[in-house]
Chain A
Amino acid sequence: MKISGVYTLNVPQERAYALLQDPAILAKCMPGCEGLDRIAENQYAMRMKMVLASISGLFAGKVTIADPNPPTGYRLIVEGSGKIGFMKGDGVLMLSPAGSGATVHFEGDVQVGGTIASVGQRLLDTTSRMLIKRFFTRLAAESAQAGVERVAAD
């Protein structure tokens, strides 16, 4: 399944890039994420709860940031598997300035298998969209918060 989208964050591009690489922020913003632990440079072990239609389950997997090119973008690879199947996402995030903020453009490919595919396929598209939207909404909130913290810290 192909996914793509454009979101705007109300922080400068460099700051947006930093947020999008900050495991603490990502863990907070990824829906269902129950842990994101660094295992190597640009590589994190992830635990995530996935709910799709009538099925739900825990996913254990790996998040890898590849080809980092601050502050314009990086490649994100997410792999996970659990009782309800497996998923693999591979995509590119591209950042560009937009006024005082930044635009995040992403596109990628998601593959799922097991019960998620056989039972949840017809809801996968809308569910993915919803989850991504939720991620960016939370990120926007976090970035506003982080922005305030930064001002205070300065």
Chain B
Amino acid sequence: MATTISKPATLVGKGIRRQEDPRLITGTAVYVDDIKMPGMHHAAIVRSPHAAARIAGINTEAALAHPGVVAVFTGADVKNLGAVPCASSLPGLRVPHHHLLAQDRVYYTGHPVAVVVATDRYVAADAASLVEVQYDPQPAVADPEKALAAGAPAVHPQWPDNTSFTFHQEGGDTGQAFRDAEIVVKQRITSQRLIPTSIETRGVVAEWRPGEKSLTMFTSTQIPHLVRTLVAGILGMPENHLRVITPEVGGGFGSKLNVYAEEALMCYIAKEIGKPVKWVESRRENFQATIHGRGHVDYYELAAKRDGTMLGLKLKLIQDLGAYHQLLTPAIPTLSVLMMPGLYKFKSISADIIGVFTNCVPTDAYRGAGRPEATHGIERMVDILAAELHMDPAEIRFKNFVGKDEFPYATTTGLFYDSGNYALPLQNAMAQVDYAGLRQEQATARAAGKLMGIGLSTYGEICAIGPSAAMPAGGWESATVKIEPSGKVTVMTGASPHGQGEETTFAQIVADELGVDIDDVMVVHGDTAVVQYGIGTFGSRGTAVGGAALFYALQELKAKIKKFGAMLLGSDNVSLVGGSCVDDATGKSVSFAEMAVAAYHAKTLPPNTQPGLVATYFWEPPNFTFPFGAHIVVTDVDRETGRISIRRYVAVDDCGKIINPLLVAGQVHGGVAQGLGQALWEEAVYDEQGQLITGELTDYALPKASFMPLIESSHTETPSPVNPLGVKGVGEAGTIGCSPAVVNSVVDALSPLGVRHIDMPLTPQKIWKLIVQSGGLS
């Protein structure tokens, strides 16, 4: 037995490089499109070019006659299969039956109408153009406010008002707040439709094994287990005969937190043709047929005292749902309402959501999912109020923050903010930019006719989603930890990642808890035949819920190992120290490998102990976590061209305890990039007829590396009491904090011209027009 004990360095908190990166950057990772199977066929989908039309007929003869084509499927074939599921429920929610393929009507451009299956991908694509669909075009409506107007075309003829649901929530007495108000500011604020645009589009490979009566589906998703349950339901097959494997996922941002028609279709087709079938979405299909994000038109009213004390907030939220509900479509705006008070002590709120059908692809979760919209709203409103009161935007925020000694804080929307020190990130960010100095510089610049802006946002978010009571289908997460007979450690997490780096952060947690080398830990995920049931990765929950489940599994396992250690050492008083079990009295120790051998050989066993070293834990979080932070953006606006230059981007984020600062930096950078995308460039545009005219990357201005400012990122660390790791989540923080800081900055720059609000994206054309209209050019 070894007698020397070395305590390994603590890995949690260190910037360990991502374990998964070598394979990702050397082209040796396996994505869905890399999968090849003997006899594999390829599918191409015929999609509607019309936003609204009756289908008068479909002729598949020419396509079927094309050499290499083995089958063509249309709506009639899948009519009796289940519908694409919507997991959200709201009182009175109207849910249109979402067939896998269009039946007698199409509802948006890109609506799948038929599937052509061929021996080759190119043949399938060619033959798809030979499917003749006779459309009888109908009037379409693509704008949610126009859809609500009297006489608008009905997206679903059975519901001529185009309203899927209305939802009211209030807390406190807004009537009283508005009566007590000395000032009320109002503003219409939009959060435009965005296209999530992950580098890897969606893709599915499905294989039917007739002997086993089982299907294996490879799909690029954030939620393999939920996809298994729901696709099995659509197909009417036992879910334990469906295996879902999620190999590498090249981004999702919420767009793969879904169950799509194509997943069920490929499973159905594989079984029908008795061959494996692959479908990989093209970029143009991705733009038209994968969910979009945001799509809000919000009407805000904010009541306050003249000293800047905010009393009440009213919101009318018009949510552009698109033509159908995808998995969580109607739930997303309810998250906005929960988050609408931001970090401030509102005594009352009142919100009305109107969920509106349009002839567009459905909206659903996109990085932030309802919270960027809410944060943008409240942070704009605070700035508008500050401007009206001639108060500094920082001062008004400090005045209204929930105090650091008020946690847990009950909001008027029914949440309990877990922990926080909201003033600190703002103080740090202000010190970093020399806020007072900047304001002086701005005054000088203005006197010289220059347009310089300073914008703040102090954001909060709902993360670690979430307690099951608040979720449509479970909000817990699972982990299994196995010490193999050789002493190596295998982790199986239900939180299937899609770029979050859990193979690294989870290995860090394991290495610290068990005292093993990080290279001895393997993190397995994304295979429903291997990994116990899990929920998935979204809503900044990977570490805060999945990591917490792992932590508890590790505690159970440690208790068991100690029993084997105690047995081998013949002592009742043992401790686990750095990968060994140590006799407290003698200092003698046994290694992990020795305990593992004892547990698996099981020649003798401790009392009431099973052989093996495996622990599984399903952890139910008692609450969400609430990260927060402050972003300051300094901009210069060119009077002649409307071009916006970001001079400084300072982000001070508090995501609780940090497991790996390198990965947190990555999340902040990526989040800010997508926030800047919304603030400055991106917009999914449908024309009056419901044609998506930003149909590819040439027309949809996704930020490129060269567009990015230097992000000066730092952190405060307020541990969360909700989970044992003290973590809060950081996946969406950058996106949520970014857009209001940018818009506040540009509005501040243009405020000498009388500008008080601008809707995103702040394109140079829009800014230049504003400058011209306000006489700012002369």
Contacts and interface: CB of A to CB of B under 8 A. Distances in A.
Interface stretch (A16-24, A28-36, A117-125): A117-125
A117 B284 contact: no
Contacts of B51: 113
Given A114-B691, A118-B691, 10 more contacts: A81-B49, A85-B49, A86-B50, A111-B689, A113-B49, A115-B284, A118-B284, A118-B287, A118-B692, A121-B687
A122 B699 contact: yes
Nearest to B695: A118
A114 B695 CA distance: 10
Contact of A115 (B695, B698, B699): B695
Contact of B109 (A113, A121, A122): A113
Interface string B19-51: 000000000000000000000000000000111
B529 interface: no
B693 A117 contact: yes
Interface string B259-270: 000000000000
Contacts, number: 51
B691 A119 contact: no
A83 B284 CA distance: 14
A55 to B, nearest CB: 10
Nearest to A111: B689
28 contacts: A83-B129, A85-B49, A86-B49, A111-B689, A113-B49, A113-B50, A113-B51, A113-B109, A114-B49, A114-B691, A115-B284, A117-B49, A117-B109, A117-B691, A117-B692, A117-B693, A117-B695, A118-B109, A118-B691, A118-B692, A118-B693, A119-B284, A119-B696, A119-B698, A121-B687, A121-B695, A122-B693, A122-B698
B687 A117 contact: yes
Contacts of A81: 49
Interface in B64-109: 109
A112 interface: yes
Interface centre among B288, B691, B696, B699 (most CB of A within 10 A): B691
Contact of B693 (A57, A86, A111, A121): A121
Contacts of B50: 86, 113
A130 to B, nearest CB: 19
Interface in B689-731: 689, 691-696, 698-699
A114 B699 contact: no
Contacts of A83: 129
A24 B50 CA distance: 32
Nearest to A60: B132
B691 A113 contact: yes
A83 B128 CA distance: 9
A112 B284 contact: no
A78 to B, nearest CB: 15
A57 B129 CA distance: 10
Given A111-B689, A113-B689, A121 B699 contact: yes
Contacts of B109: 113-114, 117-118
A72 B133 CA distance: 38
A83 B127 CA distance: 10
A119 B695 CA distance: 5
Nearest to A83: B129
Contacts of A85: 49
Interface in A101-143: 111-115, 117-119, 121-122
Contact of B288 (A86, A111, A118, A121): A118
A91 to B, nearest CB: 17
B: contact size bracket: 10 to 19
A134 B358 CA distance: 39
Contacts of B693: 117-118, 121-122
B322 to A, nearest CB: 16
A119 B288 CA distance: 11
A113 B51 CA distance: 9
A112 B695 contact: no
Closest 6 pairs (CB-CB, A-B): A118-B695, A114-B49, A117-B691, A83-B129, A121-B693, A113-B49
A118 B692 CA distance: 5
B689 A118 contact: no
Given A83-B129, A118-B284, A112 B691 contact: yes
Interface in A56-90: 57, 81, 83, 85-86
B696 A118 contact: yes
Contacts of B692: 117-118
Nearest to A119: B695
Contacts of A118: 109, 284, 287-288, 691-696, 699
A115 B693 CA distance: 9
A18 to B, nearest CB: 34
A83 B109 CA distance: 14
B88 to A, nearest CB: 29
Contacts of B698: 119, 122
A37 B288 CA distance: 36
Interface in B280-321: 284, 287-288
Interface string B268-282: 000000000000000
A91 B50 CA distance: 21
Contacts of A111: 689
A115 B110 CA distance: 10
Nearest to A118: B695
Interface string B127-139: 0010000000000
Interface in B155-195: none
Contacts of B694: 118
Nearest to A81: B49
A58 to B, nearest CB: 10
B6 to A, nearest CB: 62
A111 B284 CA distance: 20
Interface in B635-659: none
Contacts of B696: 118-119
A60 to B, nearest CB: 10
Contacts of B284: 115, 118-119
A85 B50 CA distance: 9
A85 B691 CA distance: 11
Contacts of A57: 129
A85 B698 CA distance: 19
B689 A115 contact: no
Contacts of A119: 284, 695-696, 698-699
Nearest to A1: B687
Nearest to B110: A118
Interface in B103-152: 109, 129
A40 B287 CA distance: 41
Contacts of B695: 115, 117-119, 121
B395 to A, nearest CB: 45
Best-buried of A81, A112, A113, A122 by chain B (most CB within 10 Å): A113
B68 to A, nearest CB: 18
A81 B129 CA distance: 11
Contacts of B129: 57, 83
Contacts of A122: 693, 698-699
A51 to B, nearest CB: 16
A59 to B, nearest CB: 12
A122 B685 CA distance: 12
B72 to A, nearest CB: 16
A28 B356 CA distance: 49
A109 to B, nearest CB: 11
B49 A115 contact: yes
Nearest to B689: A111
A117 B696 CA distance: 11
Nearest to B692: A118
Nearest to A114: B49
B95 to A, nearest CB: 27
A86 B135 CA distance: 11
B686 to A, nearest CB: 10
Nearest to A58: B129
Nearest to A122: B699
A122 B699 CA distance: 8
Nearest to A120: B695
Nearest to B699: A122
A118 B699 CA distance: 9
Interface in B615-635: none
